[in-house]
Chains A and B, each alone.
Chain A
Amino acid sequence: MNTWTRFRSARSAFVAIVAWCALGCDSFMPTPPVDEPVDACDLATAPLPEARLLTRSEYRRTVQALLGEPDDPTSGFPHEPEVDGFTNNARSHRANPLLVESFMRAAALLAPRAKERGLDLIVPCEGEDAACADLFIEGFGRRAFRRPLDHGETIAFKTLYSRLVASLGHEEALTAVIEAALQSPQFLYRVEAPRDLPEFGSVALGPYEMASRLSYFLWGTMPDEELLSAAANGELSLDADIERQARRLLADERAHERVLEFHHAWLGLAQLTSLTRERAPEGFSASLRQSLDAFVSDVFWRPGGSLNDLFTSPTVYIDARLADVYELAPPMQGFDARDLRPHRSGLLTQPALLALLANDDQSSPIRRGVFVRDRLLCAPVPAPPPSVDNSPPDPDPSLTTRQRFAVHTEDDECATCHLAIDPIGFSFEGFDHLGRARSEENGLPIDTSGALIDSGDAAIDGPLASALELGARLSGSREVVRCVTRKWFTFALGRPAGASDECSLDQAQARVQQTGGSVTEILVALTLSPSFRRRAPHPEDP
C-alpha cells in the first residue's frame, strides 16, 4: 500500500473521530466557514465592543506621538495575556495592581520629560496665563483622549491647573495636567460609548471611535491630526472616505512596524526569544528574527505583494551568521536578499520558521504540521488524550526522524488525528532543526513526500512532494485567504471573529480575491467591513 492510499484509507477514521469529537469536545473543532456572501451583515448578536486597554507597544507609540517621547517607558510594564499569539485581546487585557502602578510611575517620569523638551512642542501658546492653559487643556486633551474633551473632563483639568498654578507656576501646573491625563481612563482605554439609534440591528461607530480604530489597527498608535480632522468633519463614514484613510495610513512608514507586530503574533515568533537549538551559533535567534522580518516586509510592501508571494517567494535574507549556518557566501555587511531557488520557496521554508518549529536536536514534523493547520488553515486538530506520552522519540542513529515518528500512524488510536498532522510535517523533512536543507539523515535518504488530508479545502487535499509544493498549494487556497483574513480580523478587533462576523469575513475575502490575493487589500477590506465600522447595540443605547 503506498503512502497516499494508506492516508486515504485512514481518512474515514479521521472523519469518524471528528464526528465523535463534535459530541464531546466541540471546542477543539473548527467551525465550518459560511460560504454564501451576503450584502448587509446582521451584527445584532455580535459581541459588544469592550473598552480596550492600551498594550505595551500601543502605549509606547502613543506617548511617542503625543509627547514626542523618544525612549520606551514600558520595559517594566507587565506583559499582556497572550490569546492565540495575540496580546491585544480586549477581554483578557485588564488592569492589575502592577499595571496601574506602572502607569503611575510612567506618568511621573514622562510628564517632566515632556516639559523639559518644551510644552510649546505639544500646544504652542504665547504667554503664561489662564487663557494659555485653557488652550493647552483643549488642544492637548483632544489628542490625549483622541476626541474633544467634554465639559466635565475639561473642568477636571482646569481645576487641577488652578490648584497648582499659584504655588508651582504655569509650566509645572500644565505638567501636572499631562501627568493626570496619562493616568486617566480616557487615555488608557479606547472606549466605544453607547450612542445613536440602532439601524439594521447594529450601530455605526462614532467618528472619533472610527478614527481610533483605524489608527490603532494600522499604526498601533493614536490618530494623527488628519484623522482627528476627518472625524470632526464627518469624513469617516462613507466607503470612499474610509478607504482613502486606510490607504493613506498604509502608505506611511508607521504601518511597517505594525505589520511586523501582526506577523510576530500570527506566526508565534515570541518563542524565538528563548530558542535553544543544538549546534546553533551565538545570536542565532536574533538573526532568524531579522531575516524573517526582512522577508515579511519584502513581500508585504512590494507593489502588488500577495499571499502568493508570501508562500512562494524564493528570497531569503542572510547575514554572516546565517550564511555560515547555511553554507552560503557571506554578505559584505548586514543582510543580503538571496534567491535560493530551487531549494526554498516562501514562508514555509524561511529559516526562522523551520528552526522555530523544531525540537532542540531534531526536526519536528508534529510542530510543523500543527502550525500549518492551526495558523495557516485555521483548522486545528483535536488535542491528544490527556494520558498520552507526547515526548519526541530519542534520536536513533539508525533511523530517520520520519521513521521514528511512524509510530503515530501505525498505532490506530494515534493515527486518527496524526494523519491530519504528520503527513504535512513530513513534507518539511528536507530541513533540519536549524532550518538547513538536507538530503539525508543518519546516512539514510530523506523522504519529503507527504499529504494534505481534510485541510478544509478539498481543492488542495492530496499527496505532496515536499514543503515547496505545500507552499504552492496553500498559496492558491481559498481557505488560506480566509484564515489569514481571520487572523487579521482578530488583530484588528482585539477578539476572534464570532458567528455574526463571518459575513464581514465573506465581504473582505471576496474583495481580497478580486485583487489577486493582495496582502494590503486584506487590511483595507477589513476596515470597510461591517464588523469594523459598526457594533452590536448596547443595552444602554438610547
Chain B
Amino acid sequence: MKRTHPTRRHFLHASIGALALPLFDSLRASAASETPPPKRLVLLYTPNGTAPDAWFPTPGATPSQFTLNSIHQPLADYRDRLVLLRGVHNEVAQDPNNNGGPHQRGIGALFTGQILGEGDFKDGCGATAGWAAGRSIDQEVAALIGQDTLLGSLELGVRCMDNDVQGRICYAGPGQPLPPINEPITTYERLFFRTTPTAPDTNLRAQSILAAVNDQFTALRPRLGQTDRVKLDEHLALVEDLERRMGLGSSNGGCAVPLPPSSELNADDETTMPEVSRLQMDLLAVAFACDLTRVGSIQYSTGFNRIRYPWVESLEEGHSLSHSGDSDTAAWSRLAARQAWHASELAYLMQKLDSIPEGDGTVLDNTLIVWGNEVSKGNSHSLQNIPYLLAGSAGGALHTGQFLDLEGVSNTRLLLTILRAYGYTAPTFGHVDYAGDVIPGLLV
C-alpha cells in the first residue's frame, strides 16, 4: 500500500529528526533500576499447522535430554531456554457447542481457551462463527503487569490480511479482538509519535480538549439505548485509559527516539515479509527496552491463508500446501522449511532481547515467548498436539531446557500455567468445562 500523506511524514521528521539514533546503538533497558526487573510476555502465531514429523523433538531418558528436530535447528543455541510440549490439545476448540470451522475454532481458542460465539464470519469452506468468548492470556498479563506503561500491550502483524475471526489472536475481553499493526511505520508512530507535554500551555490545551471530549460523552449518554451505551462506554474507557497512560511521567522511558523505518516499505507485498518481520521485532525490542510496554504479540498472517514464502523457495499457496497428502514428502519438507524460517525469526528476536542489558542479565532473561498455531496438522485439521513452544523463563519462573510429553491435557491448563508465572491468582483460566490445574513440572 502506498502511503499518501507526505505532510504527516514531514511532521514526523521535523519533530524527531534531530534526536534520531539508529536502532540498538547503546540501547539499555530503561526500567533496569526496578528490582526485580519487570517481566515481559510475547505471543507468536504462525498459521495452517506445522510439519509434526519435523517439529517434535526426539525424547531422551529425562525431559532435559531431548534432541531438537529439524524445524528448531535455528534455535539450537537457545536449546536450554526452550520448553517443547507434546500432548497439549485444543480441546475447547472441539467442543460440540463451538461455532465455525477448524481454523476459526483453533485460532479462537489458541490463547483464550474459549469457544467462538455465533456470528457471520465465514471460513473458506462456508462455516460461520463470531469472535472468541473471552480474554487472551496476553491481555490477562497486561492487566497484571502492564498498567503503568505507555501501552498496555502492542499487537504486531506480518501480512495479517484477513480482518475476521481467522485474523485475530488477542482479545481484550469476550468479543473484543485487538487488531494487529501490519506496517512497521505505524508501529513506530504508535510508540513514538505523540506530543510531549512540556510547556504549561500545551498541558492546559491537551487537558482541556480531553475534558471537552469527556463532556461530549456525558452529553450524548441520555440519547443512547442500552446496546449503544455499552458500546460507547467501552470507547470512553479506552479514551480514559489512553489519557491516564499519556500522563504517566516522561515519554519514551528516557530512551532516545530511534530513526523511523522507511515509509515506502510495502507491507502488503509477499517479498517484503522477512524485512517487515525484522522491523516489527526490532520495534518490539525497543518498546521493551524503553519500557513503553511489557506485553506484545507478533502474528504471522492469518488462519486459512494462502500466502507464499518465496525466500525459502516455497511458492505454493499456504493453505493448499498444508493440505498435502501424508505421502507427499516434498510438500512436507517445504512446509517444514517455512516453519524453520519462523524458528529463525524467533531466534532473531531472542538475540535482540539478549543484547539488551538489564540488571545482572538481559531483557531476554525476563521474557517469555509463547509460539502457537491454530491447528497442528493442516491436512487433517487436527486440534490435538498443538505445537506450542515456550522460549525464555519469564524471570526464572519456568523450568526451561525440557521436552514434556503430556499425553493429552487441555490447552487451558498450559495457558493457566503461563499466567501463574506473572502472578495470576484465579484458580482456573478459559472455558469452565475444560479448565484445570497448572501443568506439573513447568513452574519453578
Which residues of A are interface residues toward B (Cβ below 8 A)?
27-28, 48, 50-51, 71-73, 75-76, 78-84, 87, 89, 92, 94-101, 104-105, 108-109, 113, 150, 152-153, 155-157, 159-160, 163-164, 167-168, 172, 176-177, 179-181, 183-186, 188-189, 191, 193-194, 273-274, 276, 359-360, 370, 374, 380-384, 386-387, 389-392, 496, 538-540
B155 touching A98, Cβ below 8 Å: yes
- Residues of A close to B226: CB separation below 8 A: 538-540
CA distance in complex: A94, B380 (Å): 35
C-alpha gap A95/B217 in the complex (Å):
14
Q: How many Å from the CB of A290 to the closest CB on chain B?
A: 15
- Write the nearest CB–CB distance from B394 to chain A, whole angstroms: 23
Give the nearest-CB partner of A182 in chain B: B213
11 A/B residue pairs, CB under 8 Å, sorted by A: A76-B185, A96-B238, A97-B172, A98-B190, A104-B242, A160-B208, A181-B216, A185-B232, A383-B127, A386-B381, A391-B321
Q: A194 to B223, Cβ gap below 8 A?
A: yes
Say whether B216 contacts A360, CB under 8 Å: no
Residues of A within 8 A of B152 (CB): 97
Residues of A within 8 A of B196 (CB): none
B95 CB within 8 Å of chain A:
no
- What 9 A-B pairs are tightest by C-beta distance, nearest first? A391-B323, A152-B219, A156-B215, A383-B126, A78-B179, A184-B216, A95-B235, A71-B5, A193-B223
Q: Find out whether the CB atom of A84 lies under 8 angstroms from the CB atom of B120.
A: yes
Interface check B325, CB cutoff 8 A: yes
Q: How far is the CA of A104 from the CA of B120 in the complex (A)?
A: 30
Query: How many residues in B have their beta carbons less than 8 Å from beta carbons of A?
Result: 89
> Which of B215, B234, B320 interacts with A392 by CB under 8 Å?
B320
Partner of A160, one of B101, B178, B212, B239: B212
The listed residue with most A CB atoms (<10 A of its CB), out of B201, B225, B320, B379, is B225
B26 near A: Cβ within 8 Å?
Answer: no
Bound CA span A382–B131, Å: 21
Complex contact A186–B234 (CB within 8 A): no
A79 touches B232 (CB 8 A): no
The smallest C-beta distance from B392 to any residue of chain A, in angstroms, reads 25
**A80 with B238, Cβ < 8 A, contacts A73-B8, A75-B5 known:** no
In chain B, positions 115-170 with a C-beta closer than 8 Å to chain A are 118-123, 125-128, 131, 151-152, 155, 159, 161-164
> 1/0 per position for B305-328, CB-CB distance to A under 8 A?
001100000011101110111000
B residues near A273, Cβ cutoff 8 Å? 1, 161, 268
Instruction: Give chain A residues whose Cβ lies under 8 Å from the Cβ of B127.
Output: 28, 383
Whether B186 and A76, one on each chain, are in contact in the complex, defined by CB atoms closer than 8 angstroms, is: yes
Query: Which A residues are in CB contact (< 8 Å) with B159?
Result: 274
Interface string of B199-223 (1 = CB under 8 A from A): 0010011001101110111111001
| In the complex with contacts A82-B164, A185-B235, A538-B225, A167-B204 CB distance below 8 A | yes
| Distance to closest chain A CB from B386 (angstroms) | 16
Q: Nearest chain A CB to B116's CB is how many angstroms away?
A: 12
Question: Closest chain B residue to A373 by CB distance?
Answer: B126
| B102 surroundings in chain A (CB, below 8 A) | 386
Q: Is B8 in contact with A71, judged by CB distance below 8 angstroms?
A: yes
Knowing A83-B121, A109-B11, the reply to whether A180 touches B1 (Cβ < 8 A) is no
A273 to B101, CA, bound (A): 25
Given contacts A78-B179, A98-B155, A156-B216, contact A539 B163 (CB under 8 A): no
Evaluate contact between A51 and B224: CB separation under 8 angstroms: yes
CA distance A159 to B308 in the complex (A): 56
Using A75-B5, A176-B205 as known contacts, say yes or no to A94 and B234 having CB atoms under 8 A apart.
yes
Most buried by B among A98, A163, A186, A380: A98
**Contact of B181 with A by CB under 8 A:** yes
What's the minimum C-beta distance from A28 to chain B, rounded to whole angstroms? 6
Q: How far is the CA of A350 from the CA of B101 in the complex (A)?
A: 31
Add 14 more A-B contacts to A76-B186, A391-B320 (CB < 8 A). A27-B99, A71-B5, A96-B176, A98-B179, A98-B181, A105-B193, A153-B220, A156-B212, A176-B208, A186-B219, A189-B228, A191-B220, A193-B224, A390-B125
Say how far A184's CB is from chain B's closest CB, in angstroms. 4
Report the Cα distance A81→B178, complex, angstroms: 10
**How far is it, in angstroms, between the C-alpha of A391 and the C-alpha of B322 when the chains are bound?**
8
Chain A residues closer than 8 Å to B181, beta-carbon distance? 76, 78, 98
**Please, which residue of chain A has its CB at the minimum distance from the CB of B2?**
A75
Q: Is the CB of A382 within 8 A of B5?
A: no
Q: How far is the CB of A194 from chain B (nearest CB, A)?
A: 5
Cβ of B228 and Cβ of A98 under 8 Å apart? no
Q: Are A380 and B126 in contact (CB under 8 A)?
A: yes
Q: Of A87, A156, A384, A390, which contacts B219 at CB under 8 A?
A: A156
A187 shortest CB reach to chain B, Å: 9
Contacts A95-B238, A97-B242, A185-B235 given; indicate if A75 touches B1 (C-beta within 8 A): yes
On whether the beta carbons of A82 and B163 are closer than 8 Å, the reply is yes
With both chains docked as a complex, state the minimum distance between the C-beta of A95 and any C-beta of chain B, in angstroms: 4
Among B126, B176, B242, point to the contact of A381 (Cβ < 8 A). B126
Give the CA-CA distance A164 to B118 in the complex, in Å. Answer: 49
Q: How far is the CB of B276 from chain A (nearest CB, A)?
A: 14
- How far is A386 from B118 in the complex, measured between Cα atoms in Å? 18
Please judge, given known A-B contacts A193-B223, A383-B125, A386-B381, whether A75 and B228 are in contact too, CB under 8 Å: no
Interface centre among A157, A160, A359 (most CB of B within 10 A): A160
Find out whether the CB atom of B179 lies under 8 angstroms from the CB atom of A386: no
B183 within 8 A of A: yes
